[in-house]
Homo-oligomer: A and B are copies of this chain.
Amino acid sequence: MTVKSAPRPRIRDAEATQARILAAAKKEFAKSGLAGARVDVIAERAKANKRMIYHYFNSKEDLFQRVLEDAYVDIRTAEQKLDLDRLEPREALERLVRFTWDYYLKNPEFLTLVNSANLHKARHLKKSQTIEQVSRRFVGMVGALLDRGEKSGDFRAGIDPVQLNITIAAIGYYYFTNRFSGSIIFQRDLMTPAALEERLRFNVETILRLVCKTEPPAGK
């Protein structure tokens, strides 16, 4: 009777349901924050029953924590794939700056999720073991790059990898999270392709000037 060759879509699929809930939750939390997010909206957007959310994730807070964890794992995983070791130090550094920028641009939810986490004093991160693991590797990466560049004579000595990491993140992060207020205060649209390109160039220059011994080659 039923053709089984192509397995028909499962009517009950725990994994798929959980994935839909997580995706919907990410969107909703990113859009409205933890307090502003509505569980009913998440359920509706996930095409799941609200009951499922509590079945799989226990509570709104736990769901938020899970969303946050997944978001951190995602960016850290992407960073690891950069393979900075295989590039010249200067190139590797520039690549990291560009990657960070692009990630924020393409994943704006990440920014608001982190903001929400910090509004709650990051108590959702403290609980998480996953976060610590991925973070450690990440911090090591820039440290190794700085060492390499120092030895090759490209980079100045004694730069703290944590400070550099923070700065690279900051100059992109701030631009994007505050893009709305920024566009008003500075009276220009910060999100046009031209504006984005200009900012990225400025950021690369900022970091190269900070880290490199000699000046970056005068513009293209």
| Interface, chain A (partner B; CB < 8 A) | 32-36, 112, 114-115, 117-119, 121-122, 125-126, 131-132, 135-136, 138-139, 160, 162-163, 165-167, 169-171, 173-175, 177-188, 198-199, 202, 205-206, 209-210
The quantity of this chain's copies bound in the complex is: 2
Tell me the minimal C-beta distance from A68 to chain B in angstroms.
9
A179-B118 contact given A174-B173, A184-B131, A205-B210, CB 8 Å threshold: yes
- Asked whether A185 lies within 8 Å of B135 as measured between CB atoms, the reply is yes
Give chain A's interface secondary structure class. Answer: helix
**B-side contacts of A181, CB under 8 Å:** 114, 117-118, 122, 125
- Asked whether B184 lies within 8 Å of A125 as measured between CB atoms, the reply is yes
- Asked whether A126 lies within 8 Å of B174 as measured between CB atoms, the reply is no
**B-side contacts of A177, CB under 8 Å:** 115, 118
Tell me the minimal C-beta distance from A133 to chain B in angstroms.
11
CA distance A182 to B180 in the complex (A): 24
**B-side contacts of A187, CB under 8 Å:** 132, 135-136, 139
- Asked whether B119 lies within 8 Å of A115 as measured between CB atoms, the reply is yes
Q: Which of B119, B132, B171 contacts A184 (CB 8 A)?
A: B132
New contact pairs (8) apart from A33-B36, A115-B119, A118-B177, CB-CB < 8 Å: A33-B33, A115-B115, A118-B178, A132-B184, A138-B185, A163-B199, A173-B178, A209-B210
CA distance A178 to B172 in the complex (A): 14
